[in-house]
Structure 1
Amino acid sequence: MEKDPPLVSICMPAYNAGKYISEAVNSIIAQSYQNWELIIVNDGSTDDTAEELKKITDERIKIYDQNNQGQCAAANKAFSFSKGALIKFMDADDMISINHISSQVATLSGTTKDIAFGSWGRFYDDDIETFSLNTEIIKLDMQPFDWLVQSMTGKQVMLQCALWLIPRSIIDRAGLWDDRLCLINDFEFFIRLLLHSQQLKYSENAILYYRSGVPGSLSGTRSAKSARSAYNSINWGTQHLLKVENTPRIRKIAADCFQDLIYTLYPDHKAIVEEARQKVKEYGGSDIPFQAGGFTKILVQLMGWKAAKVIRSRFYKSMSK
């Protein structure tokens, strides 16, 4: 007798996602795999997210409201209502390919020890026609630690939540999202989560369409709270790696992560930038270059990255007034 296909629970926190959430939800409704439930937690949105959610009629979709507590708390609440043996966290402004879930379920093939991952690419200006698949994707089944090292050596790792299909038992062992974090919170969470799995398995037909350039998104927030969150997430995430292997190559990865944070936060948040600088020094230094394009790249060549960041920061602040 054939077993029923496993229930997949998609956990979706939503904050001011009214412009995008219908597309995200429709990409789930369109899945070739049909045994799923979608749990959406509206995290105190102040736009028309609630009105958009009222248009949903699919009985597999459950919607809950809470006062604004942050993305991590909303994701954890969604998980608390989930019933599936397999879990996918997903942002409310991204989309997934039609065979995304079926591909990952088939890849896992009943295992509760492994995590499935897929491919991803960006699209811009809310135009899916601009989508381009990332060419640096690892397309091999790998041990979690080896995958993380390869993905983080000389580049920024992509740990976006919808990439992964996760057996519930792994989350139960690793723990949920750390609700003290509000910026790059996926960095700490997924490093911790992946290291609790036995193997990462690649699903060729599982594609994430990652929306870039969303105004007001968490990745674009630069408050003091967000800066501290970014520092803590990098600190705690790299500590997970160092507990497995405290060697020069892992310390170099940690140093590069903190150096990239310095590039991001400078010239604001001077105290946190200094803490990050001390971490870079502690881990042996970093030689990763400052990444820039367009006019900023010209400024970097003429004046150095620090002066370029100061000028760019002043420009954006003047534009926002």
Structure 2
Amino acid sequence: MAENITTPLVSIIMPVYNSENYVVDAIESILKQQYNNWELIIVDDGSTDKSFEVISGYNSPKIKIFQIKNGGAAAARNFGYWQSKGCFVKFFDSDDLISPEMIEEQVKLASQHPNSIISAKWGRFYANDLSDFKISQEDCWQDLSALEWICSSWKYARSMTQPGIFLLPRHIIEKAGLWEANISQLDDTEYFTRTILQAKKVIFSPKSILYYRSGNPSSLSAKHSYAEAESSYQSLLLSISHLLCYKNNKQTRLLAANTLQEFLYKIYPDFKELAKTIALKINALGGSNLSYKTSPLADFLTNFLGWKLVKRLQKFRNA
């Protein structure tokens, strides 16, 4: 299909690393799209399993396959972008799925809103079982200005910016820049904070759905070393910097502090020195009002013992 005003080319960029058990499902969800004018750029990031063998089984002029030395998902996405030609781009992880109408619906809205990023619904499923898929309703599922979207998404300090949710105009990517290749954790938080703030609006596509696979032991989000925690912290600092450079007021500082507070709850007591550094940063932002909440019992005990002791007790119980 030749590219024209009504059917612009969409470049779907998929980094792959050790996804032999999932990548076929991801590719098939692209092949089932109702929209036809797309190119799928698959970048195998030095997989050590049979991922490259699996993806090499696809023989289509619409699918371009590359193999590079392992450098991380962000570097693989950048490499894929350099090979792409579409005026719209979707970064898409190799263990997720998208609904058949997603690209068509998002392109319609993108064509109507040329300076905007198009978002979508999303929900989780586990392993290979879509029967437990559940939509994760968010306040930001509406048409919002860039700043309004960030503030809404960060409201509960658990912003969801899984790459496949968004359709990005190429000219906005050119303004925002590509992925930070030296960040291995929460790289999507940094990238989409920076990129969304270059857009006029985020337009919500209610008919588009990302199926986000959780519980994949090889995913980056499943890793818990100090290096991953430090990388996550650096990503959050950059994300906060982008936000505060765009708008620095009481609201945005509180959102930033709460985002760091949620991360502090996550890493304590595993990385106590890093936790001290984060606590100082939270205080410098003006403090957080985000409570520690996990379960009714933990919430009750926190009122009397404090969240740090409760976290230590939880760690001892789970040891």
Q: What is the TM-score of this pair, normalised by structure 2?
A: 0.93
Q: Report how many aligned residue pairs link the two structures.
A: 316
**Partners of 1:232 and 1:9 in 2: CA distance:** 29
Query: For 1:243, which of 240, 245, 256 is the aligned residue?
Result: 245
**Partners of 1:304 and 1:243 in 2: CA distance:** 34
CA deviations on 1:113-168 (whole Å, 9 max, x unpaired) are 11111111111232111111122253321111011112212341111111110111
- Listed as ranges, the matches of 1:44-193 within 5 Å are 44-109=46-111, 111-193=113-195
**Partners of 2:133 and 2:159 in 1: CA distance:** 19
**Partners of 2:16 and 2:210 in 1: CA distance:** 18
**Partners of 2:85 and 2:129 in 1: CA distance:** 34
Asked whether the 8 Å contact 2:258–2:289 carries over to 1, the reply is yes
Structure 1 residues 271 and 115: CA distance shift in structure 2, 3 A: same
Q: What is the CA-CA distance between 1:301 and the residue it aligns to?
A: 7.5
Asked whether the 8 Å contact 1:112–1:169 carries over to 2, the reply is no
Counterpart code for 2:230: R
**Partners of 1:249 and 1:138 in 2: CA distance:** 16
The 3-state SS of whatever aligns with 2:151 is: helix
- Listed as ranges, the matches of 1:222-241 within 5 Å are 222-241=224-243
Choose 267-276 or 85-94, whichever is displaced more: 267-276
The 3-state SS of whatever aligns with 1:109 is: helix
Q: What is the CA-CA distance between 1:18 and the residue it aligns to?
A: 1.0
**Partners of 1:213 and 1:297 in 2: CA distance:** 25
**Partners of 2:299 and 2:27 in 1: CA distance:** 38
The 3-state SS of whatever aligns with 2:208 is: strand
**Partners of 1:271 and 1:294 in 2: CA distance:** 29
**Partners of 2:261 and 2:125 in 1: CA distance:** 27
Asked whether the 8 Å contact 2:17–2:45 carries over to 1, the reply is yes
Choose 208-217 or 80-89, whichever is displaced more: 208-217
The 3-state SS of whatever aligns with 2:240 is: helix
The 3-state SS of whatever aligns with 2:292 is: coil
Choose 162-171 or 130-139, whichever is displaced more: 130-139
Counterpart code for 1:115: I
Q: Give unpaired runs (5+ residues) of structure 1.
A: none
Query: For 2:222, which of 220, 223, 226 is the aligned residue?
Result: 220
In the alignment, which residue of structure 2 is the partner of 1:202?
Answer: 204
The 3-state SS of whatever aligns with 2:144 is: coil
Q: What is the TM-score of this pair, normalised by structure 1?
A: 0.92
Q: What is the CA-CA distance between 1:220 and the residue it aligns to?
A: 1.7
CA RMSD of aligned residues (A): 2.1
The 3-state SS of whatever aligns with 2:276 is: helix
Asked whether the 8 Å contact 1:8–1:86 carries over to 2, the reply is yes
